[in-house]
Amino acid sequence: MKLSRVGVVGAGQLGRMLALAGYPLGIRCMFLDRSAGAPAAQVAPLLTGELEDAAQLAALASANQVVTFDWENIAGSALAPLEKLTLVRPPRAALEASQDRMSEKALFSKLRIPVAAHAAVEDKEQLQRAIAKLGLPGVLKTRRLGYDGKGQFVLRGPQDIGQAWMAIGGRGLIYEKFQQFSREVSLVGARSATGEIVFYPLSANTHGGGILHYGIAPFVNRKLERTARLYLKRVMQALAYVGVLTIEFFVVKGRLIANEMAPRVHNSGHWTIEGCVTSQFENHLRAICNLPLGSTRALGHTAMVNFLGKMPDPQRLLAIDGLAFHDYGKEPRPGRKLGHCTILKSRAIERNSALANALKLIEWT
């Protein structure tokens, strides 16, 4: 049976783009967020409250046929009661695995998906030991709640240990060997409740300070794409996954090293709105609402650029042929994701030159 009422925990830009994708399908989203001015609240109804508030989560679950997420860090203990009230998709196990960088890497390793050498770090002594074992440079990260490069510290030499500890010490941490990657790529896919799986073309992503700046797609590399699909499929099947799932990879010496996964629609898949027959947002809704998945075929060559900290001038950007502009309706703050643009061209060379022009007009602050 097609489901048409979706409760979404978190009302950020991802939720907003989900809600917008739902309208033509006759799918209505309702959100839970602590802020009445959140991006998705501008386009769909909202329950106001903390994301882990038991009563508000129960209200969201009771009013909708399926609950999904714009933010994956809801505690398993807060989610478990919802399973008695409605469908929770993607499954709780997927959220729990992705919430902790140690359990995420354990899942990848169990499924024979390569990861960076790493060690759990609880105190400064363990950090010294991890460094002695894994070497420098490395990245010290909080195990939980990190995003957009927050809660991370790159250690170039022993002199950085004190500063790294000052910045993020005292919480559960993970130390990872620094990956000398040639590229970062990500794969977005969707799995339906009946086990149907679709994959988008691979995208190549450029980050600055740990946050996504821009990406191009399709990134054509058949060998990498085949392997990435195999890995994503393994994770989806192991978790009996329903919805859109993304894995971010490093390409090191031509091999894929899984960095992290996101049990939701993902920034590196925004290009699919204009760039594919069916967007990641529509396919997430199709998957969780028991509809057949849509074609993930690319319509051309795209580039997606994030607007961080400051919105660019739409007049000048929209003068670029084939550019689509997305404003999330957020208050500017340094480093904050405020919007993005996607350029769609029929040839890669045209995409590259339009991207170069767009980058001249966009400033990341």
Ligand X SMILES: Nc1ncnc2c1ncn2[C@@H]1O[C@H](COP(=O)(O)OP(=O)(O)O)[C@@H](O)[C@H]1O
Closer CB to ligand X, residue 6 or residue 214?
214
Site map 131..150 versus ligand X, x via CB under 6 A: --------x------xxxx-
Q: How many CB atoms lie within 10 A of CB 183?
A: 15
Site map 254..273 versus ligand X, x via CB under 6 A: -----xx-------------
Report DSSP state, residue 330: -
Residue 114 touching ligand X (CB under 6 A)? no
Residue 364 touching ligand X (CB under 6 A)? no
Closer CB to ligand X, residue 212 or residue 354?
212
Residue 207 touching ligand X (CB under 6 A)? yes
Closest distance between ligand X and the C-beta of residue 210, in Å? Answer: 4
Of 164, 80, 81, 71, the C-alpha closest to 126 is: 164
Closest distance between Mg ion and the C-beta of residue 293, in Å? Answer: 25
- Residues in 172-191 at the binding interface with ligand X, rule: CB under 6 A: 176, 178-179, 184
Contact 220, 301 (CB under 8 A): no
Backbone Cα Rg of the chain = 20
Contact 121, 143 (CB under 8 A): no
Residue 335 touching ligand X (CB under 6 A)? no
Residue 213 touching ligand X (CB under 6 A)? no
Residue 104 touching ligand X (CB under 6 A)? no
The partner in contact with residue 225, picked from ligand X, Mg ion, none with C-beta cut-offs of 5 to 8 angstroms by kind, is none
In order, the DSSP letters of 331-356 are: ---TT-EEEEEEEEESSHHHHHHHHH
The partner in contact with residue 325, picked from ligand X, Mg ion, none with C-beta cut-offs of 5 to 8 angstroms by kind, is none
Measured CA distances, 355 to 100, 214, 273, 304, 352 (Å): 35, 9, 17, 8, 5
Residue at shortest CB range from ligand X = 179
The partner in contact with residue 327, picked from ligand X, Mg ion, none with C-beta cut-offs of 5 to 8 angstroms by kind, is none
Residue type, 63: A
Closer CB to ligand X, residue 68 or residue 259?
259
Q: Note the residue count of the chain.
A: 365
Distance CA 71, CA 65 (A): 19
Tell me whether the omega of the peptide bond preceding residue 45 falls within 30 degrees of 0, making it cis: no
Residues engaged in binding ligand X (CB under 6 A): 116, 139, 146-149, 176, 178-179, 184, 207, 210, 248, 259-260
Which residues would be at the binding site for Mg ion (CB under 5 A)?
A: 248
